[in-house]
Amino acid sequence: MEGRDIGSVVFPDAEVKVYLTASPEVRAQRRAAEVPGLDVDAAAADIRRRDEADSSRTASPLVTADGAQVLDTSELTVDGVVDAIVEML
């Protein structure tokens, strides 16, 4: 299951928690590639706004859950991410 508060709020006692991250540049490139007509700069601005809002909200703020393993996906393919998570298990 994935989501911004799954490991910290929804399932805080999960045996395995993975916090997926990527560099801001890679995140913006990925988002722009998903949305026709969205340029990378606009995607980056949207991501910065959402991260700031999610990190500073009172209820269920965006945090790395206690006990979570951080996985930087910047240089990984989807299959690479899956492989890394399976290896954690």
61-87 pLDDT, tens per residue?
889 999 999 999 999 999 999 999 999
* Residue 56 DSSP code: H
Q: What angle do CA 37, 74, 87 make, to 5 degrees?
A: 130
Cβ–Cβ under 8 Å, residues 7 and 14: yes
Q: Which residues pair with 18 in a beta bridge?
A: 69
What number is the average pLDDT over the span 18-43? 95
What pLDDT was estimated at residue 20?
Answer: 94
> For the whole model, what pTM was predicted?
0.84
Token pair, residue 72, equals 């930087």
* CATH 3.40.50.300 is held by the domain 6-88: yes
How many percent of the chain have pLDDT more than 70? 100
CA 82 – CA 59 distance, rounded (Å): 30
What pLDDT was estimated at residue 19?
Answer: 94
44-56 pLDDT, tens per residue?
999 999 999 999 9
